[in-house]
Structure formats: structure tokens, C-alpha cells
Amino acid sequence: MNRDDFPILKRDINNRRLIYFDNAATTQKPQTVINALSFYYTQCNSNIHRGVHGLSQEATVLFEETRSHVRSFINATANHEIIFTRGTTESINLIASSLGKKFVNEGDEILITEMEHHSNIVPWQIVCEEKKAQLQVLPFNEKGELRIELLDHFLTEKTKIVAVTHTSNTLGTINDIKTIIQKAHKKNIPVFIDGAQAMSHELIDVQALDCDFFAFSGHKMFAPMGVGVLYGKEKWLNALPPYQGGGEMVKQVTFEKTTYNELPYKFEAGTPSVGDVVGLKAAIEYLENIGIEKIAACLQELNQYAFHKLSKIEDIEFYGTASRKTSIISFNINKIHPFDVGTILDQYGIAVRTGHHCTQPIMKKFKIPGTVRASFAFYNTFEEIDIFVEAVKKAKSMLS
């Protein structure tokens, strides 16, 4: 795990070496990913699937090799269960729109949780508004753990889908999604997993989980922005109508009737971001070369060290203390506004996220405007955490 692989970490911010603790928002890119993007655009930039010329064929091979690699990475059954999107948000909108059109009717229910990112709330609200369905919300407790004991009450004959985050981007909670999936499946209810925060932290096996849908974004796992993945079980993808119309997703078009392409292309309308897809493969290979288990162990050590150091600061309050957590720490100090803390940290070259983190219902539950969120990647160090903690102390003394 070589920091030198990440060129941006050599940058100075405000005349101080960058300390990047905003990895839950987006991760930095290793040189291998940057090289993959450069190779695509300098050597084989072309549209895919439609051309007989050499560049198009080369680009198509690179694109489909990534699909195959993603299938292997998450242990999907077949390549055609892997749909490329622009990111987790588009993947959620795809499923919400397509499933809503065909399977949701007036009086039906969609179950989400109280800790969801806005991207896993708003699309389902739109479906409910359009179909006159009801959005149900499974709460979490004071530690930031879902109240699984209430799940059986929320799963009814009206529930058409459960949509839940694997890992909270604000609380850091790693949810017991396997139990949620098992309970939902006992009532023949499909489950969608928002895996955006999980992919760079632990191995995902969609067959072992038995989830019906799983989505993630490249940019949160060291790949470029603009590419994401939607996994769906073949039976569900075949049952759902297309999300968007246009090129690639059609088999034959006449003014009288259009027939749709086979999987996965039925859900990939238009020209994809081929270069970003190529970069995704490079990022996955980079993670595999290090080892996800090794990364997970490193992140746990960093998180525990940071939590221990921060805990010694008087008047600090943490949000999200679940027994199973990823490398995310959300906190406030002495009722100081998180924006003010973040602004001072920036003067020390430290990048953290401040605000509601696109989880306003969580902030409402805790009755706060937002939090300071530090989120770690394997390229972070104990030394950086020490500098960060001292900067937090200085921010507190300046703002109290």
C-alpha cells in the first residue's frame, strides 16, 4: 500500500502537505488508473459495439473485459447481470423507475431505512408519489444500528421492495444486510443494496448475500467519476422494462414498434463512458493486488486510532457508535458549527467533509445541523491522524 501510487497526495494545500480525510465522498486515484484512462484516450478512443474498424473493436474488448472482471469481483452468476451506469444514484433511479412502472400500484409499500443517503430516498419517493404508494422507514437506535427486531412488522404483503444501504456514509454503520435479505425473501420481497460505501472496505459476494440488486460507484473505490455498476439477478432484469430509450438498448426500431436488446444492453442506452469503465477495471485490479482483507484490517486500525485520539478531546460528541463500523467518524465539538471546524482544518491542509452528508433525516433525528466527518483510506497514516487531532484541538480553542 504505497502512498507514492497517488500523485495528488504530494500536493500542498495552504502551504501544508495535503491530508485527505474525505474518502467517503470520493477516493483519490492511483497512477495505474490514471494510466488506464490515458491509454484509452490516446490509443483506442472509439465508440463500442457498433464499429467494424480496429479502434472500435479494441475499445469494445476493453469495455467487455471490465464487465467480466466486475462479474468475477462481486461473484455474479453471469456477465449480463452487470449493468454499467454513471454511478450508484443512477443505478437506484433505474431500479426505482423500472420496478415502479411494472410492479408498484396504489396502496403498495416500499421499505427503506432511516439512515439512507438522499439517493436512496428521493427516487423511491418519486415512485410513491406517481403510484400513490407508501414509503415506510425502518428506524435506527441511538448507536446508529438498524432496529432489525422491528423488520418483521415492516415487511407486509404490500411491500414491493426493500432498499437499504450496506454501509452508512454518515454513521459508518455496517448493516446486517444478510439478515434483512433473508427476512425479506421469506415473504418473496426483493432487496436492493446500496453498496457505494462498502466496495473498497470488504469483499462482496452477491451470490452469498442472495441480494436481488446491488449498486456501487467507481469513484468511491479509486476508479474515475462517471462510472458505476448495477448488479441484478437475471430473472429480475428480464422482468423489468427499460429505464431509458435510445441507441444500444434496441434490437429493431420501426415507427410502428421497437423491440429491445438482450441483457445487459437493454439497460445501457446511449454511448457509455468507455474510458471510465476501463479505469474501473484498473482500480479493481489495484485493489485485488493489495487484497481487500489487508485493506479492511488497515482501515480498522486507522479508525480505532483516530477514535481513541479524538475521544480525549473534551466536549466532543460522536454520531454512530455501532459495534460494526467502517472507517468513518462523524462528530461535533461543544456545539461549534461543523462548517467552522472544517474551514479551520482546511487551513492546515486537512480535507474533511462538513454538513449533512446528503442524510438530512439523520441530522433531524440528532437535532443537529451537520457533523464533521473524517473518512479514511489505506493511504492515510497514523501521523496524519495525529496532525488532524491537534488541528481539531486548535479549532476548538479558537471557536469556543
pLDDT for 158-199, tens place per residue?
A: 999 999 999 999 999 999 999 999 999 999 999 999 999 999
- Catalytic, 44? Answer no
pLDDT tens across 267-276, in order?
A: 999 999 999 9
Residue 248 has pLDDT above 90, yes or no: no
pLDDT of residue 2: 83
Mean pLDDT of 280-308: 97
pLDDT of residue 252: 77
Structure letter (DSSP) for residue 380: -
pLDDT of residue 255: 77
The answer to whether the beta carbons of residues 94 and 100 sit under 8 Å apart is no
Mean pLDDT of the chain: 95
76 compared with 2, residue with greater pLDDT: 76
pLDDT of residue 52: 85
Mean pLDDT of 200-214: 95
pLDDT of residue 201: 87
User: Which domains are delineated in the chain?
Assistant: 3-21+291-399 (3.90.1150.10), 33-288 (3.40.640.10)
Mean pLDDT of 207-234: 98
Within 13 Å and on the Cβ side, how many CA atoms surround 221? 36
Radius of gyration of the chain (CA): 22
Phi, psi of 83, rounded to the nearest 5 degrees:
-110, 130
pTM for the complete prediction?
A: 0.95
Neighbour order of strands in the sheet with 371-375: 316-319, 328-333, 371-375, 353-355
* pLDDT interval class at 240 (50, 70, 90): very high
Q: For 267-298, b where at least 16 C-beta lie within 10 A, e where not — what string?
A: bbbeebbbbbbbbbbbbbebbeeeebeebbeb
Mean pLDDT of 87-96: 98
